Structure 1
């Protein structure tokens, strides 16, 4: 079942939100507040989470607080990759959480944390163990990123190969399972930390890995999953059929579903990181997905059970 909805993904990262078009994030703030209201109208019991920020930046969170965004959500989230992209060390995780807690009293989730095997698979295995030691018990939700390596034939969505150099290729090695379907050492290690640690796994449109993902997550003892439903994908032929298939397959997990990615023809500029031309259109997509996959009566019935 859907246990929460997340509004956008890494909004303070230029690869996910074009802040040249929105330098103070005022458009983003208005969009999130509008969407949060629409979700609350569709299902007032469904928790709303501000999209996980990357980098972890208390200044950005203070900006969101000042614009009233934190009043519209039930939790906030952060993403951290200190062994790959961040400019801080892994042992600083507790301090990084404290930086955000100094700004808001909202529950703080870690909705993406991971280690690539770009350099060595042993680094990921050690990083997983150290991350679990540092975060379990300090955040109500921890989602390890990710289950699968990204197939090399696919682009890393929202990333820029030419500008990022070797940092770009780390995106392809974040999984516990290699592209050929074999398990990395950290796969076995992960069993020790589930279900306290969940997974974040993005599924591409008509992703052939969906059924294998379900089987592997059950094998690992995962109960909490974070994934996404793309507003941009909703304009593809057969979009609702795919969304139905995805959500039905994931029904046995407590799913945090992330709504993000602007359709090219609905953005101020024609790309998926652009602010939308009309914020109410994103809000309508969010509400429609909640009505379809997390209607108010389903959560009420579940609570009664």
Structure 2
């Protein structure tokens, strides 16, 4: 079920990692290296992926290489949204991948790519088609973000909220399906590119869309999916029941699970983007999740189901 474990999400984006608390990313590098080793300790068959970077920055990737992080993972990943947020044109995608390949020998995945319908739904159709033309055959994984629009009553995971102007509101229109579940014109175009293209769908805690999402993904011919298991959410009431339900629902897909988000009381600052006080705590969470949902020794799985490490 779990084919890959992604270590954090967009570590070079201040919406997901606080650069004021870790200006040279040395704290992140230590945490990521520990997490990579922890994942391998539970199941070496799970591909360890460095969290997809956004922006696509070979300088950041070179820093991770120099810190030794790339010795603890099996692949690296990038995120790109040239029609919405990035300051480069969509036809530059092949060059952007090559920039990363100049600083690492590891496989490069595109673990998030997408186009919003903020301006017009027809833009998403064209952007999806062109993205597929540019990326198919150039990356081991191409994961389209996302299946659903973000509900308007929820908040987007970004640090500056409405102060970002239209950039903030684009977060809410990235789906192939509208908030009410109705299909956009791009849904039909996406189906032409499966199974080459997979999907990214973040499921919030006890997300009511889970079962419908699985049905849609099967209908579309999707075979691989990226989602997340939140370290912060693991401290919520009945968190394991939700994690079990989510992973059970996705068992028919090849799943990349992203581990991220610092619990407020375990961070240097009380925020999910903060480096943890104990980087070992995040590594322990990663090991716990792999032992529960992707154990190398299946006979050990039942014993692990009731164990929780001292975080």
Please indicate, yes or no, whether the TM-score normalized by the shorter chain is above 0.5: yes
Counterparts of 1:290 and 1:21, CA distance in 2: 28
Give the deviation of 1:160 after TM superposition. Answer: 2.4
Counterparts of 1:142 and 1:247, CA distance in 2: 21
Which position in structure 1 is the counterpart of 2:251? 251
SS of the residue 1:39 aligns to? helix
SS of the residue 2:31 aligns to? helix
Counterparts of 1:238 and 1:133, CA distance in 2: 43
Which position in structure 2 is the counterpart of 1:141? 141
Give the deviation of 1:159 after TM superposition. Answer: 4.1
Counterparts of 2:59 and 2:258, CA distance in 1: 23
1:12-31 residue pairs with structure 2 within 5 A? Answer: 12-31=12-31
Counterparts of 2:20 and 2:160, CA distance in 1: 16
Q: TM-score, normalised by structure 1?
A: 0.97
Which position in structure 2 is the counterpart of 1:106? 106
Q: TM-score, normalised by structure 2?
A: 0.95
- Point out where structure 1 has 5 or more consecutive residues left out of the alignment: 300-305
Which position in structure 1 is the counterpart of 2:38? 38
Matched, 1:180 2:183: no
Which position in structure 2 is the counterpart of 1:93? 93
Which position in structure 2 is the counterpart of 1:219? 219
Matched, 1:198 2:198: yes
Contact 1:214–1:250 under 8 Å retained in 2 = yes
Per-residue CA deviations over 1:8-29 (Å, capped at 9, x if unaligned) read 0000001000011100000000
Give the deviation of 1:204 after TM superposition. Answer: 0.2
Give the deviation of 1:166 after TM superposition. Answer: 1.0
Contact 1:110–1:139 under 8 Å retained in 2 = yes
Contact 1:159–1:168 under 8 Å retained in 2 = no
Which position in structure 2 is the counterpart of 1:189? 189
Counterparts of 1:216 and 1:162, CA distance in 2: 31
SS of the residue 1:103 aligns to? coil
Which position in structure 2 is the counterpart of 1:80? 80
Contact 1:148–1:179 under 8 Å retained in 2 = yes
Per-residue CA deviations over 1:90-128 (Å, capped at 9, x if unaligned) read 000000000000110100000000000000000000000
1:227-246 residue pairs with structure 2 within 5 A? Answer: 227-246=227-246
Contact 2:14–2:159 under 8 Å retained in 1 = no
Give the deviation of 1:164 after TM superposition. Answer: 0.9
Counterparts of 2:30 and 2:298, CA distance in 1: 29
Per-residue CA deviations over 1:72-103 (Å, capped at 9, x if unaligned) read 10000000000000000000000000000011
Would the alpha carbon gap of residues 189 and 159 (structure 1) be closer, same or farther in structure 2, given more than 3 Å must change? farther
Which position in structure 2 is the counterpart of 1:303? none
Would the alpha carbon gap of residues 192 and 156 (structure 1) be closer, same or farther in structure 2, given more than 3 Å must change? same
Give the stretch that moved more between structures: 59-68 or 151-160. Answer: 151-160
Give the deviation of 1:138 after TM superposition. Answer: 0.2
Contact 1:52–1:76 under 8 Å retained in 2 = yes
Counterparts of 1:215 and 1:45, CA distance in 2: 28
Which position in structure 2 is the counterpart of 1:70? 70
Give the deviation of 1:298 after TM superposition. Answer: 4.9
Per-residue CA deviations over 1:177-234 (Å, capped at 9, x if unaligned) read 0011110000011111000000000000000000000000000000010000000000
SS of the residue 2:52 aligns to? coil
Counterparts of 2:99 and 2:142, CA distance in 1: 17
Counting matched residue pairs gives: 299
- Point out where structure 2 has 5 or more consecutive residues left out of the alignment: 300-311
Per-residue CA deviations over 1:146-182 (Å, capped at 9, x if unaligned) read 0000000001123422331110000000000001111
SS of the residue 2:192 aligns to? helix
Consecutive aligned runs of 4 or more in structure 1 exceeding 3 Å deviation: none
